Amino acid sequence: MPNYTAPLDDMLFLFDKLRDNKNYNELQKYNEVNSDLVKDILGEAAKISENLILPLALSGDEHPAQLENGVVRTPPGYKEAYNKYIEDGWISLSCDPKYGGQGMPKTVSAFFDEMLSSTSLSFKLYSELTIGAYNCLLRHATDEMKDKYLPKMVEGKWSGTMCLTEPVCGTDLGMLKTKAVEQKDGTFKISGQKIFITSGDHDLTENIIHLVIARASDSPAGTKGISLFLVPKYIVKEDGSIGPRNGVSAGSVEHKMGIKGSATCVLNFDEAVGYMIGPKNKGLSQMFTMMNLERIVVGIQGLGISEIAYQNSLSYAKERKQGKTNNSKSTNGADFIIEHADIRKSLLNMKSIIEGERALCFWLSQQTEVSLHHSDEKIKQEASDYVSLMTPVVKSLFTDLAMEITSDAMQIHGGYGFTKDQGIEQLYRDNRITPIYEGTNSVQAADLVFRKLTNKNGDIIGKFLEMIKSECDRKNGKVKTFSKELNYYLDILSKFTDWIKEKHNDDKDDVSAAANDYLKTLGFVSLAYSWIKVLNVSYNEYDSNKKFYDDKINTAKFYFEKVLPRAELHYKSAISGSSNIMNFKFN
């Protein structure tokens, strides 16, 4: 089983030193969320992650969730851990105090999301979808519905799901077949089948609140006819108590490559009682409230798995002897593999990406809070646009790079990495779903280039590039070399953006073929932006903690010299166009 220590120093550094968003700091609701409080919360989060959750990773992999006599059973230890987890109030961390939550901002809860992703993604998914369903209901349900369902969900006694995918439709939700027939009492009878439903059924909670998209009998075809319904596993009585079983059941549990402890279910809805959420035929936009936040969390999953893969690779490299380096001083015939240049390069590649991602995620968390809670609508909208722009980047780049990092971790471990002994191969398998679910990474890239570069509020990518340039112009001479380098790549990204916009009119196949390359170019530049912010602090505060800031500065140097150049390679590849791709004759 891999070892794990929560990277508290880096998390607290970000919270203390990079909480520099003026608009975020104007949110009065978070005035009391200070560094001392966050240090205490994250300290306790680290303990429960390292001691309670981490051992569940192996349990879930060796004893997957199973369907037995109509009941989905979770792996050994899950029930006990879940009970302790909700008893200590961890599900409620970022929820509204009105419904029993603790009201912590995303700038805090995102760190805990990362810890849970590092220690056991399978276990995390049982509560993660609950928070997603909570957010959707909080934004779109009636007060009566919120009062009835949210307190138990926040407490963790009830869980939640997101039911979109069907056998006939994955991303193309306009093809869905699930029907909703309105009844005289205003409820609906929901009939159909949903597949790949994370935490679709299990034995951890008293009730499961399914959010289901379906088409009402009188609704039009396509995405314009989709409505959103709340369908509980058990009917909830007027007094809030559990009533009879609803017409929803698990048909099977998928046998998966990874995250085996998570119950991924086929759900059958047989005239199940459902309650419409919000206006009819507006269900897709409502569900996207849940999906967009979930996509950022999926990116954090990739970050969390990358972190534990890096920690164990570093530890192994310090213990394993193999071969002699060019400057070997060994007298017993072998050096520790951490002395080999290629191993050091792999480790620094992991470290520079992970720390850059964590800083970018912290910036995005601040923007998210501003987009939800700022009193100035213009400021709120601009933050929302930034979040919209960066959501596909965080989801896709973090998870794609996690595949690289977990693969490199296996390579560093050699033959042991390919066996189950060290637990590294499980990290690779568990992460493999992250580039797929919540919209595949190619879908995210298409969303970015076709929808997000411009919107009704104007040129959001232009605003983002200007913001990065402003950061580069900050008056710290020692950062100038890095800023000059980043400006070079900003120019490339600007040219790439112009090329994409031009091709929108000339050849959309060129845009489609370039979408993933554009996303990665934007992503690598965005990570460099995060490093510039870190470097400004590191040089300004250097004398207060020389060892810590030396580490930051040298890690940033590696990123700018060895990782950031990948942005230009993606650009050069993309602008060659798509003619050969589209004209190629496959046999």
The predicted model gives 128-156 an average pLDDT of 96
The predicted model gives 448-461 an average pLDDT of 85
Pick the CATH number of 158-281 from 1.10.3720.10, 3.40.190.10, 2.40.110.20, 3.60.15.10: 2.40.110.20
Report whether pLDDT(322) > 80.
yes
The predicted model gives 371-397 an average pLDDT of 95
Stronger pLDDT, 60 or 221, i.e. the higher one: 60
Structure pTM? 0.96
Report whether pLDDT(573) > 70.
yes
pLDDT of residue 299: 97
pLDDT tens for 24-44 read 999 999 999 999 999 999 999
SS3 163: strand
Report which of 48, 42, 53 is spatially closest to residue 8, judged by C-alpha positions: 42
The predicted model gives 3-21 an average pLDDT of 97
Do the beta carbons of residue 464 and residue 383 sit within 8 Å? no
Report whether pLDDT(184) > 80.
yes
DSSP secondary structure code for residue 76 in this structure: T
Percent of the chain with pLDDT over 90: 87
Report whether pLDDT(331) > 90.
no
Q: Where are the beta strands (DSSP E) in 125-245?
A: 158-163, 179-182, 188-198, 207-216, 227-232, 234-236, 242-245
Which pLDDT band holds residue 577 (cuts at 50, 70, 90)? very high
The predicted model gives 404-421 an average pLDDT of 95
pLDDT of residue 175: 79
SS3 181: strand
Which pLDDT band holds residue 328 (cuts at 50, 70, 90)? low
The dihedral over CA atoms of 579, 440, 392, 461, expressed in degrees to the nearest 10, equals: 20
CA distance 254 to 122: 13
CA distance 184 to 312: 60
Percent of the chain with pLDDT over 70: 99
pLDDT of residue 290: 73
- For the chain, the residue count is 587
Which pLDDT band holds residue 419 (cuts at 50, 70, 90)? very high
Report which of 425, 418, 365 is spatially closest to residue 390, judged by C-alpha positions: 365
pLDDT of residue 547: 97
pLDDT tens for 289-303 read 777 788 999 999 999
| 438 catalytic residue (yes or no) | yes
The CA angle 311-315-318, to the nearest 5 degrees, is 145
Q: Break the chain into its structural domains and give their ranges.
A: 8-143, 158-281, 444-587
The predicted model gives 61-80 an average pLDDT of 96
Q: Tell me the three-class secondary structure of 308-335, residue by residue.
A: HHHHHHHHHHHHCECCCCCCCCCCCCCC
pLDDT of residue 246: 98
Q: Which of 190-194, 205-209, 322-326, 523-527 has the lowest mean pLDDT?
A: 322-326
CB atoms within 10 A of CB 377: 8
Q: Tell me the three-class secondary structure of 242-277, residue by residue.
A: EEEECCEEEEEECCCCCCCCCCEEEEEEEEEEEEEE
Query: Where do runs of H (alpha helix) occur along 49-77?
Result: 54-62
Name the catalytic one among 438, 502, 541, 561. 438
Same fold, 8-143 and 158-281: no
CA distance 35 to 16: 6
pLDDT of residue 329: 67
Q: At what angle do helices 508-540 and 566-574 cross, to 10 degrees?
A: 170
Report which of 238, 129, 117 is spatially closest to residue 185, judged by C-alpha positions: 238
Burial class (CB in 10 A: 0-12, 13-18, 19+), 406: buried
Q: What are phi and psi of 101, to 5 degrees?
A: -85, 175
Which pLDDT band holds residue 392 (cuts at 50, 70, 90)? very high
CA distance 269 to 208: 14
CA distance 474 to 116: 36
Fold of 8-143: Butyryl-Coa Dehydrogenase, subunit A; domain 1 (1.10.540)
Average pLDDT, the chain: 94
Write the CA distances from 185 to 149, 223, 270, 273, 278, integer angstroms.
20, 26, 18, 11, 17
The predicted model gives 386-415 an average pLDDT of 97
Report whether pLDDT(312) > 70.
yes
pLDDT of residue 557: 98
Report whether pLDDT(269) > 70.
yes
The predicted model gives 496-507 an average pLDDT of 93
